[in-house]
Structures are given as C-alpha cells and as structure tokens.
Structure 1
C-alpha cells in the first residue's frame, strides 16, 4: 500500500525544486480554480450537513407522529364501527 506521508514528501520535494515562475503560475491557477469552484458551488442549491441532519431528524419525528395518528384513526374507526354495529 502507498504511504500517504511518503507521497506528501515526494510532492513537497517536487514543489521545492520547481522554478519560481512555475510555482507562481501553479499558485495562480490553484487560486483561480478554487475561486471558480466556490462560485459554481455557491450557485447550486446545496444544504449544509447540519441543515441536512436537522431536516432528517424533523422527518423522523414527523414519520413517528404520522404513525401515531394513523393508529389513533384506526382505533377511532374501529370504535365507530363497533357503535354502528350495536345500533
């Protein structure tokens, strides 16, 4: 298996040995690429992980409440049917 620390060390050595002009160009390209990606992501309709987790919990509670209400309605329907049968 490849050692990530070794890869990092090799990448650092390569970067350290690059001419300054290439380093500047790489930094510029990296910065512009990050900015472009951030701009595109900002345009998309994403939610944060926290908001997703909150909405997941709301959905779980809503499902639980719906199940409870379904059970109550079924019980009331049974009671109503029993009363109608008695008449």
Structure 2
C-alpha cells in the first residue's frame, strides 16, 4: 500500500511539472489571441442580449395590443 505522504509528494511534483510546462504558455497565448479576435468582432454580452430579448418581447406585446385596438375601432367605425 502506498504511503499518503508519498502520494502527496508525487502530486506536488506533478503539479510543479505541469505548471512549468509549455502547455501553460500555449493556453495563455491562445486566450490572448482569442481575446484579441473577439475584441475586433461586434459581439454583445449574454446580459445585453437577454435585455434586448426582453425589450423585444414587451414591444411585440404592445404592438399586438395596439393592433387589437385598431381592429376594434375599425369595426365600431364601420358599424356606424
């Protein structure tokens, strides 16, 4: 059976090895590259998108209500 201290040492050595590996640099460079690319695009945040979707839904509801009022007014006017 393995000693817990040995496992901890092994884990610490692996963490140190991975922290110093080139994968961290690649990840860092990829994030910077993607950040620059996304910065050039005309994107909105999820929060901004959700706000605009809610605004559109309310606008559609108001439009439908106004259309119903116009239709009702036209019916009463044509009935006179």
**TM-score of the aligned structures, taking structure 2 as reference length:** 0.72
Change (3 A) 1:50 1:17: closer
Match of 1:36 in 2: 33
- Answer yes or no: is 1:82 the counterpart of 2:79: yes
* Structure 2 unaligned regions, length at least 5: 1-10
- Cα deviation 1:11-37 (Å, max 9, x = unaligned): x78x537488x61x2222111111001
For residues 19 and 30 of structure 1, the distance between their equivalents in structure 2, rounded to whole angstroms, comes to 12
Tell me by how many angstroms 1:70 deviates: 0.4
Tell me by how many angstroms 1:52 deviates: 0.8
Tell me by how many angstroms 1:77 deviates: 0.6
- Cα deviation 1:1-59 (Å, max 9, x = unaligned): xxxxxxxxxxx78x537488x61x22221111110011111111211111111111101
Task: List aligned pairs for 1:51-62, cutoff 5 A.
Answer: 51-62=48-59
Matched length: 70
Of the two structures, which has the highest relative contact order with CA contacts closer than 8 Å and spacing of 6 or more? 1
Runs of 4+ more than 6 Å apart: none
* RMSD value, Cα: 2.4
Match of 1:16 in 2: 15
